């Protein structure tokens, strides 16, 4: 059980205290439950993991750990650069009370990290990949009840990632995981529950899928709002008349940039106006029909829909229903 009681966190900046990154978070994370932390970049995922792992302290509030909690894995920090991998490994085994089985643990770490003779070289000569391999092996060697993982499955090359994921699967049952990862599949595979970090607040979901859905819905709404607030110059550049720019403000939007940076058009549909404007700019209506055939009705009144449209291939990529509580993706499984 990890009890997070009303924590606040902000970092010092050059101009005094910075923005609140975590703004009053209270959570009870039960034992033996794998939890995924979701949020966009800068939402405070790493900060929260560092606080849970005890690397950093909250500005206000307290965290009570009644179990053995690991340091955030996969950061590659906490290794003394001037000492060798072996010396660092010995140190960590010693502080975590593995004095008696030190030799076994060192052998295990050496085998798992697969860094060869570099194990007896100073850490400063290591590449980033070697560092994270070593640290991952270190955190597995020490017995913890809760492992904290910050993007650890992204460390190293493909074969090491597979090995790391296998090691994680073995942990399940013995220990639990609290992890942050960008890959949706990783989160779905390992985690049962989810925490969505948004604007300094934490939202708990018993089911990770609910958390992911809520997160993506929010991301998309933001994306639409951002697009709506973009200036009219951008619209004119896209060939919209002034009249239609007004329609845009009523909820119709066509613009020239996509969610992933590649040229796309986002169409925010509110009834049949969408079709009219789509016609005016010469959009291929056949694609709309295609989507309709997929089982979604594009035209019912007052139901805003969002379509990502890729002009280079002249294809619609995804369709999201913003108004209903669910998020639907037609052709691509995730916005990533």
Contact status: 272 vs another protein (CB under 8 A):
no
Contact status: 77 vs another protein (CB under 8 A):
yes
Contact status: 321 vs another protein (CB under 8 A):
no
Q: Which residues in 152-168 are b (16+ Cβ under 10 Å) and which e? A: bbebbeeebeebbeebb
Question: Of these, 28, 57, 243, 299, which contacts another protein (CB under 8 A)?
Answer: 57
Q: Please give the size of the binding site for another protein, defined by CB under 8 A.
A: 33
Q: What dihedral angle (degrees, nearest 10) is formed by the CA atoms of 210, 211, 213, 215? A: 160
Can you tell me the distance from the alpha carbon of 260 to that of 317, in angstroms, rounded to the nearest whole number? Answer: 12
Contact status: 61 vs another protein (CB under 8 A):
no
Contact status: 270 vs another protein (CB under 8 A):
no
Residues 6+ apart with CB under 8 A from 268: 224, 227, 228, 251, 252, 253, 304, 305, 306
Contact status: 7 vs another protein (CB under 8 A):
no
Can you tell me the distance from the alpha carbon of 151 to that of 122, in angstroms, rounded to the nearest whole number? Answer: 25
Question: Of these, 8, 20, 91, 204, which contacts another protein (CB under 8 A)?
Answer: 91
Question: Of these, 2, 4, 27, 92, which contacts another protein (CB under 8 A)?
Answer: 92
Q: Which stretch binds another protein (CB under 8 A): 93-101, 171-179, 299-307, 309-317?
A: 93-101
Contact status: 19 vs another protein (CB under 8 A):
no
- H or E segment at 234? helix 232-237
Q: Considering the complex, what minimum distance in angstroms separates the CB of residue 55 from another protein?
A: 5
**Pattern 94-113, binding to another protein, x per CB under 8 A?**
xxxx-x--------------
Contact status: 240 vs another protein (CB under 8 A):
no
**Phi, psi torsion values for 99, nearest 5 degrees:** -65, -40
Contact status: 131 vs another protein (CB under 8 A):
no
Contact status: 75 vs another protein (CB under 8 A):
yes
Q: Considering the complex, what minimum distance in angstroms separates the CB of residue 256 from another protein?
A: 39
Can you tell me the distance from the alpha carbon of 266 to that of 58, in angstroms, rounded to the nearest whole number? Answer: 41
Tokens of 318: 């995804």
Closer by beta carbon to another protein, 50 or else 268? 50
Closer by beta carbon to another protein, 67 or else 329? 67
Q: Which stretch binds another protein (CB under 8 A): 69-77, 212-220, 253-261, 283-291?
A: 69-77
Can you tell me the distance from the alpha carbon of 329 to that of 336, in angstroms, rounded to the nearest whole number? Answer: 12
Contact status: 154 vs another protein (CB under 8 A):
no
Contact status: 37 vs another protein (CB under 8 A):
no
Contact status: 6 vs another protein (CB under 8 A):
no
Question: Of these, 79, 164, 181, 187, which contacts another protein (CB under 8 A)?
Answer: 79
Can you tell me the distance from the alpha carbon of 51 to that of 6, in angstroms, rounded to the nearest whole number? Answer: 12
Listed in order, strand segments (DSSP E) in 14-111 are: 16-29, 35-38, 60-65, 69-73
Q: Considering the complex, what minimum distance in angstroms separates the CB of residue 14 from another protein?
A: 14
**Is-contact 18 11, C-beta < 8 A?**
yes
Cross-strand bridge partners of residue 36 = 179, 194
DSSP 37-87: EE--TTSSHHHHHHHHTTSS--SEEEEEE-S-EEEEETS--S--TTSBHHH
Question: Of these, 5, 8, 78, 311, which contacts another protein (CB under 8 A)?
Answer: 78
Tokens of 159: 């074969």
**Is-contact 90 108, C-beta < 8 A?**
no
Q: Which residues bind another protein (CB under 8 A)?
A: 1, 11, 31, 50, 53-57, 66-69, 71-72, 75, 77-83, 87, 90-92, 94-97, 99, 145
């Amino acid at each position: 059980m990890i009890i997070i009681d009303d924590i606040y966190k902000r970092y010092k900046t050059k101009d005094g205290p910075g923005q609140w990154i975590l703004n009053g978070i209270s959570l009870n994370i039960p034992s033996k439950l794998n939890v995924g932390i979701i949020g966009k970049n800068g939402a405070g995922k790493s900060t929260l993991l560092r606080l849970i792992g005890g690397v950093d302290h909250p500005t206000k509030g307290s965290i009570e750990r009644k179990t053995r909690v690991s340091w955030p894995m996969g950061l590659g920090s906490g290794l003394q650069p001037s000492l060798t991998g072996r010396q660092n490994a010995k140190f960590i085994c010693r502080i975590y009370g593995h004095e008696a089985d030190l030799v076994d643990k060192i052998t295990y770490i050496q085998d798992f990290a697969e860094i060869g003779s570099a194990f007896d070289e100073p850490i400063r000569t290591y590449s980033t990949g070697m560092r994270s391999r070593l640290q991952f092996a270190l955190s597995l060697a020490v017995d913890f009840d809760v492992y904290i993982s910050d993007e650890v499955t992204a460390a190293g090359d493909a074969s090491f990632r597979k090995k790391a994921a296998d090691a994680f699967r073995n942990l399940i049952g013995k220990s639990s995981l609290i992890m942050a990862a960008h890959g949706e599949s990783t989160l779905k595979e390992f985690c049962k529950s989810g925490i969505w970090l948004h604007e300094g607040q934490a939202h708990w979901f018993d089911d990770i899928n609910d958390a992911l859905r809520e997160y993506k819905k929010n991301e998309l709404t933001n994306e639409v709002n951002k697009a709506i607030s973009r200036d009219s110059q951008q619209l004119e550049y896209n060939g919209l008349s002034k009249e239609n720019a007004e329609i845009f403000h009523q909820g119709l939007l066509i613009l020239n940039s996509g969610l992933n940076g590649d040229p796309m058009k986002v169409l925010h549909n509110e009834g049949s106006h969408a079709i009219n404007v789509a016609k005016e700019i010469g959009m291929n209506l056949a694609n709309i029909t295609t989507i309709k055939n997929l089982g979604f009705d594009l035209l019912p009144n007052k139901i805003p829909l969002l379509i990502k449209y890729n002009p280079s291939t002249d294809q619609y990529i995804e369709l999201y229903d913003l108004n209903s509580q669910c998020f639907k993706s037609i052709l691509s499984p995730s916005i990533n």
